[in-house]
Amino acid sequence: MPSSARSQASSRIREFGLISALKQRYGTTNRRLVRGIGDDAAVIASSPNRHYLFTTDLLAEGIHFNCRTAAFADIGFRAAAANLSDIAAMGGTPEYLLVSLAIPRVATSRQVEHLYDGMMAACRAHRVRLIGGDTSASKGGWFVNIVLIGSAESGSILLRNGARVGDDLYVTGTLGDSRAGLQILERPRGATQARSLKAAHRRFLVRRHLRPTARVREGRWLAEACWATSAIDLSDGLSGDLPHLCAESRVGAVIERSALPISPACRQYAETYGQDAEALALAGGEDYELLFTVPARHRIRFQRASVQRRFRMTRVGRITPAREGLRMTLPDGRQRPLPSSGYEHFRPTR
Ligand code: ADP
Ligand code: MG
């Protein structure tokens, strides 16, 4: 589920506690159900060579999006990208889409049209087809739910639980851009123009928030060429999602703070607003980049192959024994516990 700093949600329920309780109670597997609750998508065997992948995300107005800062086409695009990203994290190919909407009475048919325009624009590059859904009225705001069905070769699916001690940790792309873009959108109009942030950088960051690229090609390559031992997509930020990968794999990890890939735009944004770019990269959610592990003995071959493919993949740390927990190495060599700034929808208010 995508995170959002805009959520005001508070409840006594803790999201990850709820999910692990559900997993304990109902999370069985069998010969056909290869993977149920606990990964980016569920895996169901369809033929000896091919497995189906199922993922779903629910976006609620005021929690995941806000009609003041995003156009309906952008909301649709992001909703589809969040699901495409979960299939990418499994190394799969996205194929079919089901869309359910709860629509407030004040909504117009143009808004619905724009929502679908955005959703289908994100899907077009992957030839994903809309095959159904459901429609309801809403007494509150908008609710947009997507189910995405994909498939993958049965022998090369990327799971969260395959990381091994000594593996290198990598991320695709750059981190923190989406959070910076969201902060720009939330500032009063003109406030970002008044500072020295370049217009091109501002546009880049806003676009990275509103139109994220799901790393489907990268995920398929990592899986099919058998490079990666595990993967997860970054919807809740590196410091929010790394713990899930480590918990499922029963390992620890150390991140090198100075290795985090940061775009020139995010770097300039952080300088302009007196923020720490690395902190944005660690905590910022909704980048929809992939976090994955590759055995260290393949480092040179892997890095050469990814450059040949023109994929941006940066080594940001390594996997350690579970007892060492989650840590971060500072530029001076000292180590700190990794700040746990991941977003949780039901975090209790203090
Ligand atoms: P992601 O951020 O990759 O979409 P989530 O953190 O939303 O993943 O979910 C983690 C796992 O828990 C997934 O396998 C998801 O299918 C499962 N899950 C989340 N919410 C529920 C729920 N309400 N009931 C059953 N399973 C759930
Ligand atoms: Mg995910």
Atom of ligand 1 nearest to the CA of 22: 25
Q: What angle do CA 335, 341, 43 make, to 5 degrees?
A: 105
d(CA 318, CA 320): 6
96: β partners: 129, 149
* Whole-prediction pTM: 0.93
Q: Ligand 1 within 6 A of 37 CB?
A: yes
Instruction: List the chain pLDDT tens, one digit each, 350 residues.
Output: 555 433 433 355 677 788 889 988 988 888 899 999 999 999 999 998 999 999 999 999 999 998 888 999 999 999 999 999 999 999 999 999 999 999 999 999 999 999 999 999 999 999 999 999 999 999 999 999 999 999 999 999 999 999 999 999 999 999 999 999 999 999 877 666 567 889 999 999 999 999 999 999 999 999 999 999 999 999 999 999 999 999 999 999 999 999 999 999 999 999 999 999 999 999 998 999 999 999 999 999 999 999 999 999 999 999 999 999 999 999 999 999 998 755 454 444 33
- Backbone angles phi and psi of 185, in degrees to 5: -65, -30
Q: How many CB atoms lie within 10 A of CB 325?
A: 14
Token pair for 171 = 């991320």
Q: At 53, list the tokens.
A: 């992948």
- Separation CA 160–CA 151 (nearest Å): 17
Distance from residue 87's CA to the centre of ligand 2 (Å) = 8
Residue whose CA is at the smallest distance from ligand 1 atom 22: 19
Query: How many angstroms separate the CA atoms of 98 and 284, rounded?
Result: 28
Q: Could you tell me whether strands 143-153 and 93-104 are parallel, antiparallel, or unpaired per DSSP bridges?
A: antiparallel
Q: How far is the CA of 240 from the centre of ligand 2 (A)?
A: 11
182: Cα within 13 Å, side-chain hemisphere:
22
**297 exposure class (CB count in 10 Å sphere: 0-12, 13-18, 19+):** exposed
Query: Of the ligands numbered here, which is closest to the C-alpha atom of 232?
Result: 2
What does the domain layout of the chain look like in residue ranges? Answer: 3-153, 160-337
Q: Angle at the Cα of 134 (from 130 to 138), degrees rounded to 5? A: 130
Q: Please give the distance, rounded to the nearest whole angstrom, from the Cα atom of residue 18 to the centre of ligand 2.
A: 17
pLDDT of residue 1: 56
Residue 73 to residues 69, 80, 110, 128, 263, Cα–Cα distance (Å): 12, 11, 10, 17, 25
What ligand is nearest to the CA atom of residue 285? 1
Q: Which of 314, 327, 326 is nearest to 250 (CA)?
A: 326
Compute the Cα dihedral for 84, 89, 94, 98 and give only its sign. negative
Atom nearest to 36 CA in ligand 1: 14
Helix (H) or strand (E) holding 271: helix 264-272
Q: Which CATH superfamily is domain 160-337 in?
A: PurM-like C-terminal domain (3.90.650.10)
CA geometry: angle 167, 328, 256, nearest 5 deg: 60
Residues with CB under 5 Å of ion ligand 2 are 40, 86, 233
Q: Which CATH number fits domain 3-153: 1.10.645.10, 3.30.365.10, 3.30.1330.10, 3.30.499.10?
A: 3.30.1330.10
Structure tokens at 32: 């056909």
> Would you say the CB of residue 40 lies under 6 angstroms from ligand 1?
yes
